[in-house]
């Protein structure tokens, strides 16, 4: 009888572990899944494209002024000189 009691005890412990695991899995998968997505949708207006610093009317220099400045630097001259050397065709 002692052997069957220990076997029954082990069987019940395994079943309890299995039941607890299944309960944990059910708990995890029953949580709302779209909470982050809904939060991101609500914060859409705060995206970088919606910030004032990226609008043309708030820029300190116009696009033309920026291009003129860049074309006058040594970086741009080196870029132009090296353009033909990096051709991998």
How many CB atoms within 10 Å of residue 76? Answer: 13
Give the model's pLDDT for residue 81: 83
* C-alpha to C-alpha distance for 2 and 8, rounded to whole angstroms: 10
Q: What is the pTM assigned to this prediction? A: 0.34
Give the model's pLDDT for residue 10: 92
Dump pLDDT digits (tens) for 31-86.
766 667 777 777 777 766 656 666 777 777 888 888 888 888 888 888 888 887 76
Angle value at C-alpha 85, between 80 and 86, nearest 5 degrees: 95
């Amino acid at each position: 009888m002692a052997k069957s009691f220990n076997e029954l005890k082990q069987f019940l412990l395994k079943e309890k572990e299995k039941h607890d695991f299944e309960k944990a899995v059910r708990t995890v998968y029953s949580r709302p899944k779209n909470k982050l997505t809904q939060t991101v949708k609500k914060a859409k207006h705060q995206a970088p494209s919606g910030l004032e610093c990226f609008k043309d009317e708030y820029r300190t220099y116009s696009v033309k002024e920026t291009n003129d400045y860049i074309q006058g630097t040594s970086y741009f001259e080196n870029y132009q000189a090296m353009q033909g050397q990096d051709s991998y065709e």
